[in-house]
Amino acid sequence: MKWNLSLEAEFFYQQGLRRNKAEKYAEALLSLDIAVEYEPDYADAWSQRGIALGSLNRHEDAIASFDRAVSLRPDASWVWHNRGIALGKLGRYTEALNSFDRALEFNPDAATIWHNRGITLIDCGCYAKAVINFERTIQLRPDAYWAWYNRGTALGHLKQYEAAIDSFDRALEFQPDDLLTWNNRGITLSDWGEYAKAVASFDRALTIEPQYTKAWYNKGVALRKLGNLVAAIACFDKTIELDPNDFWAWYNRGLVLAQNGKKEAAIASYQHALTIQPRDIGVWYDCGLALYELCRYQEAIAIYTKALELQPHTPIFWYNIACCYALQSQAEQAIISLQQAIQLSPEKYRALAKNSVDFSIISQDERFQILISESRVDA
């Protein structure tokens, strides 16, 4: 028996729908492609096709599919909603917000739409407006812990730390073991300067998921602020054990080791960080500084020279090179490097050089005296 076209379209649509629900998105797409081939005006099939494409990170194609769906059914609130999500994924925030607004025209009391509109406002940095959207979500769904959570996140960005913590606490009333809420509550407490309370929040996250690298890392940052350097290093070590390519853990481990007087170990940590992110200027600077403090001046010069290849107009690197040359009595190279720093920022580096003991050895050199003279006119 031969099916007519609408029956065949319905069969492949239902197959695609089941596959989407099973998160078999590539297979779903195959089914939905056949459905719309049989029935080009099948709005639901175009909508489900957009969901499959979005789940495969093919957001441009997803938008095209949603556009086709709303051209066939302009009042399809959830299609406008899903279109907004896809636009947000591409960073097209104004268009995303417009799409959410169309969705709300047809379904003004949909808590999920208000919530995802708020997420988009966070993504584009409109935190105060995001809070309003999350509060509308909460009016509609008071037990929506995810809205309380994201409201806390937005309030944290606004530096309204007490209100943010209250919002995270409300989220935890409804979902006591939510890992992200405990972690972001800790981050907000750290931003507020409440480092001991932050550590307690990260510890709570780690009781839920002991392998959660972000909580280990954030706990290390808070412990460093508390001056508990040994414990901070242990946290960064645990982060690295779980994720050997965590750049920030290697970098902060180096900073804490240097702060704890372990310069050699700090340098090794900085160097490992640079294998992960070789263009990070901050690590080059701190690695050079540690070498300088160990009186390994030629190595420090090599590090700062490498940094200048990345950012040639950064005066602090020229200045630090000048210091290293001066401490080795290499007056000519010191003066050439110091001249570069002063040309880039005359007032600051002339004053620094004038008062720095690093230049004591060459301080009587006439070229040095001319260079630091306030009456000198720079080209």
Question: Rounded mean pLDDT of 93-119?
Answer: 98
What is the model's pTM?
0.87
How does residue 184 score in pLDDT terms, banded at 50, 70 and 90? very high
The residue type at 304: Y
CA–CA gap between residue 305 and residue 337 (Å, rounded): 11
Residue 290 in this model has a pLDDT that exceeds 60: yes
CA–CA gap between residue 133 and residue 123 (Å, rounded): 13
Please report the pLDDT score of residue 2 as a whole number.
39
H or E element in which residue 116 lies? helix 111-123
CA–CA gap between residue 87 and residue 97 (Å, rounded): 9
Radius of gyration of the chain (CA): 29
Domain spans of the chain, in order of start: 177-243
pLDDT per position as a tens digit, 300-339: 999 999 999 999 999 999 999 999 999 999 999 999 999 9
H or E element in which residue 300 lies? helix 297-310
Quickly count helices (H) and strands (E) in the chain: 22, 0
Residue 233 in this model has a pLDDT that exceeds 90: yes
H or E element in which residue 111 lies? helix 111-123
Strand runs labelled E in the chain: none
The two three-digit tokens of residue 7, written as one number: 């029956």
CA–CA gap between residue 123 and residue 157 (Å, rounded): 11
How does residue 1 score in pLDDT terms, banded at 50, 70 and 90? very low
CA–CA gap between residue 324 and residue 334 (Å, rounded): 8
> Mean of the per-residue pLDDT values for the chain?
95
Separation in Å, CA 274 to CA 238, 265, 296: 19, 14, 19
Please report the pLDDT score of residue 3 as a whole number.
42
Contact, 38 vs 8, CB < 8 A?
A: yes
Q: What are phi and psi of 97, to 5 degrees?
A: -65, -40
Residue 260 in this model has a pLDDT that exceeds 90: yes
Fold of domain 177-243: 1.25.40
Q: What are phi and psi of 376, to 5 degrees?
A: -65, 140
pLDDT per position as a tens digit, 48-79: 999 999 999 999 999 999 999 999 999 999 99
H or E element in which residue 140 lies? helix 127-140
pLDDT over 70, % of the chain: 97
Q: What are phi and psi of 109, to 5 degrees?
A: -110, 25
